[in-house]
């Protein structure tokens, strides 16, 4: 069993592949439990709009097979987009992801919260064991320090602020627009706050449940309305900008709905931004005249602003990550030596008790204490040196590592080592 991460992200896979392998929040608990039951001794699934990653203790090929089967794709179709890391590479990758160094938006803070939520889900399902628990505890503490010491997250251009800029560049000033949000989750709440601050003419939030929608509206300011997803076909034409981000596994806005909306709008331009993975807006909607459809992958250029200014901070962060990874690996190795140290001391204690019992019996028989002490010291020396002496006698000439180790442990002279060669 080995620590590994199997995943794909915005750098290795296009959107149409990522959406096939995404784990919506509704199915994530069952999925991580099934992964733990069938393919991995420990498991955490991180699924965001830009990445799907399986952090596991287990056989990588079995985990890849499980992923392909669970998401209904073939291993052959999946493999070109995957990265598969071993133990030390997994540790480094986790530290970099949590620090925002592997994100589309360099230094963005949301990924750290998403990783913590993934770990909480795994813990609730019983799939978090000793290895992954220690990995993520160290990951989170390292990420906090890396961010604060490097400043890599300073002046980050968020997806929310970039969305506002994209809308204004496409259909005009926010204050003169009707804006529709589809969904009421964390991402929509973040983006909607930026739009609300820009005071659009009307801001509507459509969600499956009105209660959640109304609760979000209460946090925002301006001319606000709540709507249901069922009402989308009837109200879509009213909005100049539409931003969608829900956990639905199916499109909520179809090409037909978009065509009907454009007819009702009399051809007036409409901006659509789909931040969801899987997508909430049918890709074919982009073919409707008058609609400008953008996806999460189109955000790359918008969030590049300021990356150069943060490059120096990123270099500092990478150096800190490398040090934190080395510290964690050293700590893990020291923990792995603890059972060996305990076993060695137990063996020494067993030998001590045995020769002590022999000595006590000799004293009880009236043997002179000096003679008993002499025998005790000889017996104890022989017992403690028996195993290393036996190993040396059996060692071949090429077993230089064993010879060197014993020379070092017992602090023997170089001449003794040379004499054995």
Considering 303, 318, 343, which residue would you say is the last residue of a domain? 303
Among 113-127, 261-275, 353-367, the range scoring the smallest mean pLDDT is 353-367
Within this chain, do residues 125 and 184 fall inside the same structural domain, yes or no?
Answer: no
Within this chain, do residues 145 and 39 fall inside the same structural domain, yes or no?
Answer: yes
- Does residue 136 sit within a domain? yes
Give the model's pLDDT for residue 416: 55
Instruction: Find the CATH number of the domain harbouring 260.
Output: 3.40.50.720
Instruction: Find the CATH number of the domain harbouring 22.
Output: 3.30.460.30
pLDDT tens-digit profile of 58-95?
999 999 999 999 999 999 999 999 999 999 999 999 99
pLDDT above 90: residue 196: yes
Give the model's pLDDT for residue 5: 97
- Does residue 383 sit within a domain? yes
pLDDT tens-digit profile of 123-179?
999 999 989 999 999 999 999 999 899 988 776 667 788 888 899 989 999 999 999
Within this chain, do residues 195 and 297 fall inside the same structural domain, yes or no?
Answer: yes
Considering 287, 303, 319, which residue would you say is the last residue of a domain? 303
The residues annotated with a catalytic role in the active site are 49
- Does residue 55 sit within a domain? yes
Residue 420's pLDDT band, with cuts at 50, 70 and 90, is very low
Q: Provide, rounded to the nearest whole percent, the portion of the chain with pLDDT above 70.
A: 92
When pLDDT is averaged across residues 110-135 and rounded to a whole number, the result is 94
pLDDT tens-digit profile of 48-58?
989 999 999 99
**Domain tally, the chain:** 3
Within this chain, do residues 277 and 408 fall inside the same structural domain, yes or no?
Answer: no
- Does residue 317 sit within a domain? no
Within this chain, do residues 133 and 177 fall inside the same structural domain, yes or no?
Answer: no
Q: What long-range pairs does 416-419 form, CB within 8 A, spacing at least 24?
A: none
Give the model's pLDDT for residue 98: 95
Strands 270-274 and 291-295: parallel
Give the model's pLDDT for residue 408: 81
pLDDT tens-digit profile of 206-224?
999 899 999 999 999 899 9
Within this chain, do residues 359 and 288 fall inside the same structural domain, yes or no?
Answer: no
Greater model confidence, 311 or 268: 268
Give the model's pLDDT for residue 157: 67
pLDDT above 90: residue 344: no
Within this chain, do residues 136 and 182 fall inside the same structural domain, yes or no?
Answer: no
Residue 308's pLDDT band, with cuts at 50, 70 and 90, is low
Considering 104, 124, 150, which residue would you say is the last residue of a domain? 150
- Does residue 327 sit within a domain? no
Calculate the average pLDDT of the chain.
89
- Does residue 68 sit within a domain? yes
Within this chain, do residues 101 and 178 fall inside the same structural domain, yes or no?
Answer: no
Domain of residue 211 covers 159-303
- Does residue 323 sit within a domain? no
Burial of 404 (0-12, 13-18, 19+ CB in 10 A): exposed
When pLDDT is averaged across residues 335-361 and rounded to a whole number, the result is 81
- Does residue 312 sit within a domain? no
Give the model's pLDDT for residue 318: 92
Within this chain, do residues 292 and 179 fall inside the same structural domain, yes or no?
Answer: yes
Within this chain, do residues 296 and 407 fall inside the same structural domain, yes or no?
Answer: no
Backbone angles phi, psi at 222, to 5 degrees: 115, -165
Give the model's pLDDT for residue 159: 79
Within this chain, do residues 284 and 167 fall inside the same structural domain, yes or no?
Answer: yes
Give the model's pLDDT for residue 421: 46
pLDDT above 70: residue 414: no
pLDDT above 50: residue 10: yes
Within this chain, do residues 9 and 146 fall inside the same structural domain, yes or no?
Answer: yes
């Amino acid at each position: 069993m080995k620590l590994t991460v199997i995943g794909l992200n915005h750098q290795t896979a296009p959107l149409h592949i990522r959406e096939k392998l995404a784990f919506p929040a509704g199915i994530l608990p069952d999925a991580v439990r099934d992964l733990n039951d069938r393919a991995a001794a420990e498991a955490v699934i991180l699924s965001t709009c830009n990445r799907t990653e399986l952090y596991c203790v287990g056989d990588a090929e079995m985990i890849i097979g499980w992923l392909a089967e669970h998401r209904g794709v073939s291993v052959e179709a999946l493999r070109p987009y995957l990265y598969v890391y071993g133990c030390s590479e997994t540790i480094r990758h986790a530290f970099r992801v949590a620090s925002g160094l592997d994100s589309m938006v360099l230094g963005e803070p949301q990924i750290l919260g998403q990783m913590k939520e993934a770990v909480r889900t795994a813990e609730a399902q019983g799939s978090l064991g000793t290895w992954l628990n220690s990995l993520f505890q160290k990951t989170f503490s390292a990420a906090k320090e890396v961010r604060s010491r490097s400043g890599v997250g300073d002046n980050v251009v968020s997806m929310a602020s970039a969305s506002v800029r994209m809308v204004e560049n496409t259909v005009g000033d926010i204050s003169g627009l009707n804006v529709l949000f589809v969904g009421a989750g964390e991402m929509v709440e973040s983006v909607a706050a930026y739009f609300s601050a820009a005071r659009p003419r009307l801001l509507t939030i459509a969600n499956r449940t009105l209660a959640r929608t109304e609760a979000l509206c209460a946090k925002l300011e301006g001319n606000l309305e709540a709507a249901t997803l069922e009402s989308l076909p009837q109200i879509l034409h009213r909005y100049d900008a539409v931003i969608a981000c829900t956990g639905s596994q199916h499109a909520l806005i179809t090409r037909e709905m978009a065509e009907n909306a454009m007819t009702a709008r009399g051809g007036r331009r409409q901006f659509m931004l789909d931040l969801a993975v899987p997508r909430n807006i049918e890709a074919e909607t982009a073919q409707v005249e008058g609609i400008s459809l953008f996806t999460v992958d189109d955000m790359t250029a918008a969030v590049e602003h300021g990356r150069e200014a943060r490059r120096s901070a990123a270099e500092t962060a990478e150096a800190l990550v490398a040090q934190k990874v080395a510290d964690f690996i050293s700590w893990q190795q020291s923990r792995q030596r603890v059972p060996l140290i305990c076993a060695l001391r137990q063996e020494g204690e067993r030998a001590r008790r045995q020769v002590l019992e022999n000595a006590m019996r000799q004293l009880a028989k009236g043997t002179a204490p000096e003679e008993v002490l002499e025998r005790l010291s000889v017996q104890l020396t022989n017992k403690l040196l028996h195993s290393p002496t036996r190993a040396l006698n059996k060692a071949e000439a090429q077993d230089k590592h064993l010879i060197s180790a014993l020379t070092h442990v017992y602090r023997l002279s170089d001449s003794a080592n040379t004499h054995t060669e």
